[in-house]
Amino acid sequence: MDRRDFIALGGVTAGVAMLGRIAEAEAAPIQIPGGQVAVTVPNGSTLAWRVVDGVKVGHLVVSEFDHEFAPGLSARCWGYNRSTPGPLIEAVEGDRVRIYVTNRLPEATTVHWHGMIIPNGMDGVAGLTQKRIAPGETFLYELTLRHPGTYMYHSHFDEMTQMALGTVGMFVVHPKAPRGPHVHRDFSLMLHEWSVKVGARRPDPNEMTDFNVLTFNGKSFPGTEPLLVGKGERVRIRLGNLSAMEHHPIHLHGLNFKVTATDGGYVPESAQHPETTVLVPVGTTRVIELVPEEAGDWAMHCHMTHHVMTQMGHVLSMVGVDTRAVDARLARVAGTMTMGQTGMGNMGDMQMPVPPNSTPMRSATGPFAPIEMGGMFTLIKVRDRVAGADPKAWYAHPTGTVADKASSAAMQRDGIDPNRTP
Ligand SMILES: [Cu+2]
């Protein structure tokens, strides 16, 4: 703000406005040394810092709010700065950070900095290393980030309840000097699981086995924002899992990758091996790096089949059941039918009304047909050029590169008899 602007605003108001602007400027994105790129958080945000005497100062407010998992399905969740996961905390090796935590929950809380090597009294374990943060109180955590890496943060009081309701987040510390080959895109995805009974307004923290809403950064497909990357670019994806009970084997189509780091540190190059699926156990981070060779819309998902279902997909399967007798009796009740006798796949094609606050069987309309996927499922959209690419657009397949119905000429040519008894 120059002097002329100051005078134009006039008096005390201008003074306040100027302070506001300074705060905004100080909350600008962090500078990451060595040409390293900032982390992209699909469906999420990054914590704003204010620099005071060379110390990065941030503020987490933990509270209850409405969170949307996917179109049509939301619940009352708990989290940081009205989001779950909370904002990505992004800093640089050697930084001194002060993180204020204000508790607006109806019960006490604390914050644990998962994986970080810090003074014991900053570790956030209620009762063991600190007092509880009572409702209405603000605590201060002050940390020097000595080790670069991919970490997490979460409540460490009444964990079963608070984490099941969403008090989780990711924490990335960039190294002072880049390590390994230059990375063009850097993403952070937190894995989580929830039990939201159809029609309920709150996740059930007592659930131990039957999770029906599985999320990347708090979103179920088709609520998940795709990862847009360029062919030949080096891409880093940081995965963290703070689910209540389950490990998630995250599988990428059309690509292979190496695990380059965990929340325990960097994996030496000699120990990195190629994979297409990485198991992310509860309470860990796994960092993978890849260079896509093939353009396209590639699926990225948990390989546990129950974790890529929609919430309504967890209704009773009737495969192989003869329902004629019950159908006859049900016919007297308007608007009812039995389903799934030949499998569940086609059920997604039906336009059936669903109960309020629930995800339908059909999750999204793909370029060829409805996509029978939900939950912990997203897309890596690999494009020849990222600049100008529309992340919402489907991949335009070159002619002759899509699997399709075999012609009888092709079957004749190759000696295929479709009527052969296998
Ligand atoms: Cu899973």
- What percentage of the chain exceeds 70 in pLDDT? 86
- For the cut 50, the answer to whether the pLDDT of residue 294 exceeds it is yes
Whole-number Å distance, alpha carbon 304 to ligand 1 midpoint, is 5
Q: 368 in a domain, yes or no?
A: no
14 pLDDT band, cuts 50/70/90, is very low
d(CA 27, CA 359): 37
- pLDDT higher at 334 or 225: 225
Task: Domain count for the chain, please give it.
Answer: 1
The H or E element that residue 50 is part of is strand 50-52
d(CA 97, CA 171): 12
Whole-number Å distance, alpha carbon 228 to ligand 1 midpoint, is 22
| Closest alpha carbon to 47 in 89, 82, 80 | 89
Distance spanning both ends of the chain, measured CA to CA = 79
Whole-number Å distance, alpha carbon 240 to ligand 1 midpoint, is 12
d(CA 108, CA 136): 9
Q: Which residues contact 256 (CB under 8 A, 6 or more apart)?
A: 274, 275, 276, 290
* For residues 79-86, average pLDDT: 98
d(CA 382, CA 257): 15
pLDDT at 26: 46
Q: 221 in a domain, yes or no?
A: yes
Whole-number Å distance, alpha carbon 189 to ligand 1 midpoint, is 13
- For the cut 70, the answer to whether the pLDDT of residue 6 exceeds it is no
103 pLDDT band, cuts 50/70/90, is very high
- For the cut 90, the answer to whether the pLDDT of residue 315 exceeds it is no
Q: 131 in a domain, yes or no?
A: yes
Whether the Cβ atoms of residue 418 and residue 321 lie closer than 8 Å to each other = no
- What percentage of the chain exceeds 90 in pLDDT? 75
As a 3-state breakdown, the chain gives helix, strand, coil percent values, each rounded to 5, of: 15, 35, 50
* For residues 356-366, average pLDDT: 78
**DSSP at 338:** -
Whole-number Å distance, alpha carbon 365 to ligand 1 midpoint, is 23
Whole-number Å distance, alpha carbon 350 to ligand 1 midpoint, is 26
Listed ranges 23-37, 125-139, 199-213; the one with the highest mean pLDDT = 125-139
Q: 151 in a domain, yes or no?
A: yes
Whole-number Å distance, alpha carbon 192 to ligand 1 midpoint, is 9
Whole-number Å distance, alpha carbon 286 to ligand 1 midpoint, is 14
* For residues 308-328, average pLDDT: 74
pLDDT digits (tens, 9 = 90+) for 395-416: 999 999 999 999 999 999 999 9
5 pLDDT band, cuts 50/70/90, is very low
* For residues 100-124, average pLDDT: 98
pLDDT at 16: 42
Query: Residue 175, preceding bond cis, omega within 30 degrees?
Result: no
Helices (H) and strands (E) in the chain, counts: 5, 23
Whole-number Å distance, alpha carbon 111 to ligand 1 midpoint, is 25
- pLDDT higher at 267 or 360: 267
- The beta strands (E) that lie in 205-262 are given as 213-216, 227-230, 235-241, 248-252, 257-262
d(CA 164, CA 213): 12
Q: Which residues contact 230 (CB under 8 A, 6 or more apart)?
A: 184, 185, 292, 382, 383, 384, 385, 386
* For residues 110-132, average pLDDT: 98
Whole-number Å distance, alpha carbon 211 to ligand 1 midpoint, is 10
Least confident among 131-135, 168-172, 303-307, 353-357:
353-357
* For residues 417-421, average pLDDT: 94
Whole-number Å distance, alpha carbon 377 to ligand 1 midpoint, is 10
What is the span of the domain harbouring residue 139? 26-302
Q: Quickly list DSSP for 144-189.
A: E--S-EEEEEEE-SSHHHHHHTT-EEEEEEE-SS--SSPPSEEEEE
Neighbours of ion ligand 1 (CB under 5 A): 248, 302, 304, 307
Q: 387 in a domain, yes or no?
A: no
Least confident among 102-116, 276-290, 327-341, 377-391:
327-341
Q: 55 in a domain, yes or no?
A: yes
Whole-number Å distance, alpha carbon 404 to ligand 1 midpoint, is 30
- For the cut 90, the answer to whether the pLDDT of residue 21 exceeds it is no
Whole-number Å distance, alpha carbon 400 to ligand 1 midpoint, is 34
20 pLDDT band, cuts 50/70/90, is very low
346 pLDDT band, cuts 50/70/90, is low
d(CA 244, CA 249): 15
* For residues 188-202, average pLDDT: 94
- For the cut 80, the answer to whether the pLDDT of residue 213 exceeds it is yes
- For the cut 90, the answer to whether the pLDDT of residue 55 exceeds it is yes
Q: Which residues contact 236 (CB under 8 A, 6 or more apart)?
A: 183, 185, 186, 187, 260, 287, 288, 289
- For the cut 70, the answer to whether the pLDDT of residue 391 exceeds it is yes
Q: 416 in a domain, yes or no?
A: no
Query: Residue 135, preceding bond cis, omega within 30 degrees?
Result: no
- For the cut 60, the answer to whether the pLDDT of residue 255 exceeds it is yes
Q: Which residues contact 49 (CB under 8 A, 6 or more apart)?
A: 26, 27, 30, 56, 57, 58, 91, 97
| Closest alpha carbon to 297 in 393, 166, 187 | 393
Rounded to the nearest integer, the mean pLDDT of the chain is 89
Whether the Cβ atoms of residue 348 and residue 370 lie closer than 8 Å to each other = yes
Q: 78 in a domain, yes or no?
A: yes
CATH number (domain holding residue 91): 2.60.40.420
pLDDT at 96: 98
pLDDT at 1: 37
- For the cut 70, the answer to whether the pLDDT of residue 345 exceeds it is no
